[in-house]
Amino acid sequence: MVLKKKIVTLDQQQIIKDAAKLLDMPSRRRFGRQLLSLGGLSLLSGCSLSDGNSIEAMLMAVSRFNDGVQGWLFDPNRLAPTYPESMITKPFPFNAFYSEDEVPEIDDDYTLTVSGLVTRRADWTLPALYALPQTSQVTRHICVEGWSAIGKWGGVRFRDFLQRIGADLGAKYVGFRCADDYFTSIDMATALHPQTLLTFTYADQVLPAKYGYPMKLRMPTKLGYKNPKHITEIFVTNAYPGGYWEDQGYNWFGGS
């Protein structure tokens, strides 16, 4: 007798929703971060762990699956903790995919390009950016490498900036290109989060070069690698833009 293997098609979104119904909110958040066992992930991804290529494909499928879970659990109205200035980390650490002596030098005639699904595409000079209504926050930067630090960042609420450029707020993604050849992208819900800032200052001073001059996107709801520095272009799109680390296997959503 020949046994035929039964192929089962799994509705991944329904699995997540059904599992979440059985969990309280703290457990939901742990579920979103820890997700499933390796065996379960292999099943969900449909990959056989028999060789290097299939393992790589499985890990990428799991990463994208995890992105979906984190996106589903993300609360656009939930605020990250804020801290008194007495708790600021001194000195705030430098972190990049290159050494500090390789930080890019930005000319004074810098302009920010906006593109994609926006109605007002004029470039922005630094004086025009500095003239926008400003706010500040003292929040914790959490690095995927396992360390964290508290800093004070000042700038314009990114939601307000997107509205000023006539961005399609119903689009899926906002992408960033940077002077240090870095690039990344975020979901629109995070872009519109009240604590997402396009920052121009650190500790009430013009943003130092090592922290991202002339501007850094600061998101306390995301891990550090999702916070791009030395931004030269912002674009709004419905096409998945990827990112420097994300294209190498890091989770795209990158929520902390």
Which structural domains are found in the chain, ordered by start?
12-73 (no CATH), 85-248 (3.90.420.10)
**Calpha distance 29→39 (Å, rounded):** 21
Residue 247 contacts residue 62 (beta carbons within 8 Å) = no
Smallest CA-to-CA distance from 142 within 7, 256, 4, 24 is with 256
Calculate mean pLDDT across residues 58-83. Answer: 60
Query: Residue 255: pLDDT band by 50, 70, 90 thresholds?
Result: confident
User: How far apart are alpha carbons 222 and 187 in whole angstroms?
Assistant: 11
- Which class for 87: exposed (0-12), middle (13-18), buried (19 or more C-beta within 10 A)? exposed
Position 248 pLDDT exceeds 80:
yes
* E strands present in the chain: 111-116, 124-125, 135-142, 148-157, 173-178, 183-187, 197-202, 205-206, 216-218, 231-237
pLDDT tens per residue across span 27-49: 444 444 444 444 444 444 444 44
| 103-146 per-position pLDDT tens digit | 999 988 999 999 999 999 999 999 999 999 999 999 999 999 99
Span 207-233, pLDDT tens digits: 999 999 999 999 999 999 999 999 999
Given a cut of 50, whether residue 8 has pLDDT beyond it is: no
pLDDT of residue 217: 98
The answer to whether residue 149 scores a pLDDT higher than 50 is: yes
Provide the percentage of residues in the chain whose pLDDT is more than 90: 66
pLDDT of residue 41: 43
Q: Give CB contacts under 8 A, 24+ apart, made by 107-111.
A: 110/214, 110/232
DSSP H or E run through 26: helix 25-34
Q: Report which of 236, 240, 238, 233 is spatially closest to residue 118, judged by C-alpha positions.
A: 236
pLDDT at 78: 84
Omega before 91 cis (within 30°)? yes
Q: Residue 93: what residue type?
A: P
pLDDT at 34: 46
What per-residue confidence (pLDDT) applies to 82?
97
Instruction: Tell me the chain's radius of gyration from C-alpha atoms.
Output: 20
Quick: pLDDT tens for 188-206.
Answer: 999 999 999 999 999 999 9
Query: Is the pLDDT assigned to residue 186 strictly greater than 50?
Result: yes
Q: Which of 233, 255, 108, 220 is nearest to 180 (CA)?
A: 233
pLDDT for position 13: 52
